[in-house]
Amino acid sequence: MRIAEITPQPNWMLSVVADDGRVGNFDVSPYLEYEAFAALQDQVEFMKVFNGGYFVEWDCGADLSADTIEGRWQVVGKATPLKVA
């Protein structure tokens, strides 16, 4: 999966749109107990997520692969497939 769009939501959720049009939600909160994700307990820091296509990353250095997200997200629908350059 390639991540076409990522939008941080309240309560440590990421709204994800895949390049094939699947739309879903990924809960980051289970990862907050790990040292690498500790800075994300601050909601302001959590909102600074960067989409790398095959991963998402935050300023603190925490990251999640698209494979991890795809393996644990909740698909909620399908949008028109987006072209990702």
pLDDT along the chain (85 residues), means of 10: 96 95 97 96 96 96 96 90 58
pTM for the model: 0.89
Listed by start position, the domains of the chain span 3-78
Q: What phi and psi values does residue 70 have, to the nearest 5 degrees?
A: -60, -35
Predicted local confidence at residue 81, as pLDDT? 57
Q: What share of the chain is helix, strand, coil (3-state, %, to 5)?
A: 30, 40, 35
CATH node for 3-78: 3.30.2020
